[in-house]
Amino acid sequence: MRFCTAKYLLILFIILPMVTLYPQESDMGIVIEVPIIKTELNQQKYLALNKTDEINTIKYSAGINLSYSWRLSLLLNTKFEVRPGIFLGDLDLLGVNCGFYLRTNLFKPVYAIVGIKTDYNFGNEDSHITWGRKSENGFYFCPALSLGMAVSKNISVMIGYSFYLKENWRESWSVDFNHSINTETSEKLNWLIKFGIEFSN
């Protein structure tokens, strides 16, 4: 009997704070996210001018995205959010970004964020006599959906999903002069899953 009572008290001790906490009500904050980015790689090998092999593989890349969140209250417990930031990680994905979102409470303490993020990739190019690599600079648009949960008055955890409207990203090549083999590789950005934490004041 005492064990059952203690068990229920423990459950209430864990659940009650989660029920009474509200999603972030602040109008500004700092967001730290770790995106896991899926890329699709296509590699083709040529002997002279004849294609001898083609390989398709999946790769993943990660980094860290730091952004500032500014929010403007709208109607029906919804906020318009602007989130400028910078991505640090793979040199071929390094850049700045800005997201435009709508944030709304679902139920205590969970909220949803939907919108679009615009990434500007700085691009990167490196080449030698027998190989070269180039990532495209320019804008990449990513529709995004996230769920957040307040764990305290000033801290939330988030998980989100985005996909790229522009897929072409990186190209590379290499040459084996001894065997007359030329290899061409192209990579496409598919989607990303991101895990984040938000600090609001």
pLDDT tens column, 29-78? 999 999 999 999 898 888 877 888 888 999 998 999 999 999 999 887 89
pLDDT tens column, 78-130? 999 999 999 998 888 899 999 999 999 988 889 999 999 999 999 888 888 88
Question: Does the pLDDT at position 22 exceed 70?
Answer: no
Range of the domain at 175: 2-200
- CA 95/CA 135 separation, integer angstroms: 12
Find the range with the poorest average confidence among 5-9, 138-142, 146-150, 166-170.
Answer: 5-9
Q: Is 102 within 8 Å of 75 (Cβ atoms)?
A: no
3-state secondary structure 110-156: EEEEEEEEEEEECCEEEECCCEEEEECCEEEEEEEEEEEEECCCCEE
CATH code, domain with 72: 2.40.160
Q: Is 116 within 8 Å of 146 (Cβ atoms)?
A: no
Total domains, the chain? 1
